[in-house]
Amino acid sequence: MVYTVWLPNKKSWLAVAERLDIRKELSTNIEASLLLSLIFALFLALCLLKLQLKKAFAPLVELGEKISQRDFNDLSALHLPHSPDELKPVITELNDLFHRVDSSLEREKHFLADAAHELRTPLTVIKLQVEQALIQPDAREMILQRLSESVERNQQVVEQMLLLARLEAGQMSVHTTTVIFSALIREAIAQLMPLAFKRNIEFHLDVEEVTINGDSALLLSLLRNLFDNALRHSPNNAVISVKLFKQVQMIIFEVVDAGTGIDPKFLGEVTNRFTQVGGSDVGASGLGLAIVSKIAQLHGMRLVLNNHETGGLSVHLQW
């Protein structure tokens, strides 16, 4: 290969020749040197990347090890003081999940303990009634009637317990539709009329036609529990007052029974499950108002309990 250049000062050409095989050898050596340098640089970069990734993922690996080494009963908060800012939201959410699961398990534990305590006595009563029926054939019909009432009452308690458990666990979603609330009131009362007729208790209705948005099944359960509670705490031949009206931008629903009311210091406790105030002779389970409170919360209703001037308990729902 020949390279030429014109030299104006000397008015002549300068020619430089290079053997092609030498040029190719030099080019090959340069390429090999560059390739080796590139391979070494790439290897070094991969090693550095591996070290950096190991360092970056170390907190995540530590988090995984802490979780895998935990006992299944350990729901305490995770603590990784040297975790990077990117991992802190994950740890926070995990701790929040642990707290919610722990609260749910504690709630279920208390619920089962309360339920076992509440069912023990009625089941003992049923057992005694069966034994009495076996040894007293002459009184068997009367005993079986009482036994049937006990079974029916306990069936209602179990249904209330299951409903309340689902409400407290957040397993009940509100299927909102347009509901004629005044019609639901009449339907709930109609379902309880056999009990009211038996004790000659009258419902006095002062109900406006009101339409709301809500879950009709849950609202019907709310009303049934309210009216059932009023019936159980009212004497025979009594009148239960039921009012529904609009006031400015608010809807007010009120049920007033004919009982003896509640000691003011217990008014804030009767919406807790299995809370019975004023004796257990009315056959109440202590679940009705707890169910009412939960369903009211789901519908954005404000529940207010007061002793009415007539002496009974006044239950207000406002929304």
pLDDT tens digits, one per residue of 86-119: 777 878 888 888 888 887 777 777 677 766 766 6
Number of residues that this document lists for the chain: 319
16 shares its domain with 113: no
User: Would you say 13 and 6 are in contact if contact means Cβ atoms under 8 Å apart?
Assistant: yes
| For residue 20, pLDDT beyond 80 | no
Whether 95 maps to a domain, the answer reads no
207 shares its domain with 302: yes
109 shares its domain with 16: no
Whether 27 maps to a domain, the answer reads yes
Residue 280 pLDDT class (50, 70, 90 cuts): very low
- Residue 241: what pLDDT? 92
Whether 251 maps to a domain, the answer reads yes
Q: What's the pLDDT tens digit per position in 178-189?
A: 989 999 999 989
- Residue 281: what pLDDT? 45
207 shares its domain with 312: yes
- Residue 242: what pLDDT? 92
314 shares its domain with 181: yes
Residue ending a domain, choose from 150, 168, 186 = 168
Burial of 44 from C-beta contacts in 10 A (0-12 / 13-18 / 19+):
exposed
Residue 279 pLDDT class (50, 70, 90 cuts): very low
Which pair of tokens denotes residue 128? Answer: 């005694």
Residue ending a domain, choose from 168, 192, 211 = 168
Whether 77 maps to a domain, the answer reads no
Q: SS3 for the chain, per residue?
A: CEEEEEECCCCEEEEEECCHHHHHHHHHHHHHHHHHHHHHHHHHHHHHHHHHHHHHHHHHHHHHHHHHCCCCCCCCCCCCCCCCCCCHHHHHHHHHHHHHHHHHHHHHHHHHHHHHHHHHHHHHHHHHHHHHHHHCHHHHHHHHHHHHHHHHHHHHHHHHHHHHHHHHCCCCCCCCEEEEHHHHHHHHHHHHHHHHHHCCCEEEEEECCCEEEECHHHHHHHHHHHHHHHHHCCCCCCEEEEEEEEECCEEEEEEECCCCCCCHHHCCCCCCCCCCCCCCCCCCCCCHHHHHHHHHHHCCCEEEEEECCCCCEEEEEEC
Whether 215 maps to a domain, the answer reads yes
Give the CATH number, domain containing residue 129. Answer: 1.10.287
185 shares its domain with 241: yes
User: What residues make up the domain containing 149?
Assistant: 104-168
192 shares its domain with 271: yes
46 shares its domain with 121: no
Residue 282 pLDDT class (50, 70, 90 cuts): very low
185 shares its domain with 293: yes
162 shares its domain with 181: no
Give the count of domains, the chain. Answer: 3
Whether 71 maps to a domain, the answer reads no
Give the CATH number, domain containing residue 247. Answer: 3.30.565.10
282 shares its domain with 197: yes
Backbone angles phi, psi at 252, to 5 degrees: -120, 130
Q: Taking the CA of residue 255 as centre, how many other CA atoms within 13 Å lie in the half-sphere pointing to its CB?
A: 24
Least confident interval from 40-54, 111-125, 259-273: 111-125
Whether 17 maps to a domain, the answer reads yes
- Residue 118: what pLDDT? 61
Whether 252 maps to a domain, the answer reads yes
User: Would you say 239 and 312 are in contact if contact means Cβ atoms under 8 Å apart?
Assistant: no
| Rounded Cα–Cα distance for residues 274 and 93 (Å) | 33
Residue type (1 letter), 219: L
Residue ending a domain, choose from 168, 192, 209 = 168
Backbone angles phi, psi at 17, to 5 degrees: -110, 145
Residue 25 pLDDT class (50, 70, 90 cuts): confident
58 shares its domain with 116: no
